[in-house]
Structure 1
Amino acid sequence: MDNADTSRLEVRMEYCNWHVVAGSVLALASSYVFPNQCDCQQIVGKCTGAVELTKTFGSAPSYGAELAVYSSEKVCSKVEFLVDSTPYQTILVNRNKDTESVFGTAPISPQSVRYSTCSICANTEASRDNRKPDSRTTLSPVAGTWSGYTTSMFGRQEAGVFLAIAGTAVSGHFIHPKLGNLVLYDASFVNGILAAKCNTGDGPMQISLQLVNDTLQGTWSSGMWNGSVQLSKR
C-alpha cells in the first residue's frame, strides 16, 4: 500500500468514526429533554404508572411517608395519585422513577395510597421535529400494584406484588404478611406469562403467573412447598 492509499484509508476511517460518534450523540439527544420542553398542560398519550409506599415516619400529630413513583414513559410524563383523599402529581423528566415525600395528621399506610393515572406530556422540542412518543412504552398490562392471596397447606394468606416493566424485563417486590417485602429477580413478562424468583430466607421461591383478563393467576413453589396465587390490580 503506497502513501496515497494509506491517506485515503485514514480519511475513510475518520469519516466512519465521526459518523459513529455523531450517531451516538443524536441517539442520546433524541431521548433527552430539558425541563422547560416537558409540557404537561398538553397530554399526548397514556402510560402505565404505579406508586409504592417505601417508608413511613413521624408521630402524632404529624406523620409522613416516602413514596416511589414509577412511569413506563422515560422522557416526559405525569403520574397522578391520591394519599387518603388528597391528590398529588409527580412530573418525571428524563427518568421513569422518582421519590416523593408526603405528610398528614394521621399515619400513612399502603391502603392510604392509590394510583390514579399516568399521562405522557408533550415534548415541545419533539413536536417541532414531528417526533411522536414511543408507543412501545405507553402500555404494559402488568405494571403497577396487584393484591390478592396465595394458598398453601396452611391455608390462604393475603399477598400482593408491585411490578415495574421495561420491555420484557420486570423488577418489583412480592409482598406477604409473613414473608415480608421480597425483591424479585430473574423476572420477565413474555407472552402473557410473568416468571420471577424471590429469596424467602429459606431459599428461592419461584413464581409463575398468567395474565387472565384482569387477574394474575398461577403458582408459587419453594423446595417441597407450593401453592396457588391469584391477584387483581389495585
Structure 2
Amino acid sequence: MQDNPLERPLDAASVTPGGPWSPVEYHDRVGSTNDVLRADPRPGRVVVADVQEAGRGRLARSWTTTPGTSLAVSVLVPVPPSGALWVPLLVGLAVREAVAEVSGLVVDLKWPNDVLVPSDGDRKLAGVLCEWTDVGVVAGLGLNVGTAREDLPLDTATSLRAAGHDAPRTDLLEAYLRRLADLLAADTGPAGPTADAYRAVCSTLGRDVEVHLPGGTVRRGRATGVDAEGRLVLRTDGGTAQVTAGDVVHVRQP
C-alpha cells in the first residue's frame, strides 16, 4: 500500500524544535490546546493535540478537529506587552513559511490571524487565536491538513488535502516551531526585515475592507499599512484610523 503523508500519525516525540521551545507536550484529545497551556503558562511551553473538541477562534467561533486531520498547537511566547500585537502576525508568517517548505503550497495572510489559499478561492487554511497572560502570549494555531473538502465545516474553508497538497503533520509542526523561533529572534521593528516580510505577504494591504470591531461597530476603509505596533492602518472618509483588533472582511471589487 502506498504511503499517504496526510494519513501519517502525528509523532510529536520526534520533533526537536529548539529555540525557546520546551519539548512538545502531546495529548490525544483536549478541549482546547490554549486552555491546557493557560492552566500552566510557562514560557516556551508547547501543547499539541490530535483531537480538539472545544477550540475557539476569534469572536467566540468554535474550531474542532477530528482524529488525524488537523494540526492544533499552542505555544507560550514570552514577549512584553509592547510586542504582543505582533505575535499573531508572526505566527501567520511562520505558518506561511512552514507550509511552503513542507508542502510547496503558497498562501497569503489576512490581517490579523487568517491564512488563505489564493489558488483555492482565498479559502481559509488556518487560523490563529492569541490570548494574553501575565508571562506572555498564548498563541494557538489551527491548521487544516487532511480534511476532505466535503468534510470541511464551511465552503470558505480549505485544507492541504482539498488544495491538492500533501504534508505530514509532524513535519509541519517541526517546521512551524523552527520558523516561529527564527522570526521571534529577528528584528521586528517597524522597518526591520520581519515586519517588512509580513507586510509583503499580507493580502489585506491595498484592499478595501470592512472591519468588524469587538463592540459590534463596523469600520470601512482601505487598508494602507501595518504600523510599528502591529495595528492595521485604514484610510477612511474621515481620515486615518488604526485598528488593534477586529474581524476583517476583504470587500470584493465589482
- Tell me the TM-score range normalised by the shorter chain: under 0.3
| TM-score normalised according to structure 1 size | 0.27
Instruction: Tell me which protein shows more strand as a share of its residues.
Output: 1
Instruction: Tell me which protein shows more helix as a share of its residues.
Output: 2
Higher CA-based Rg: 1
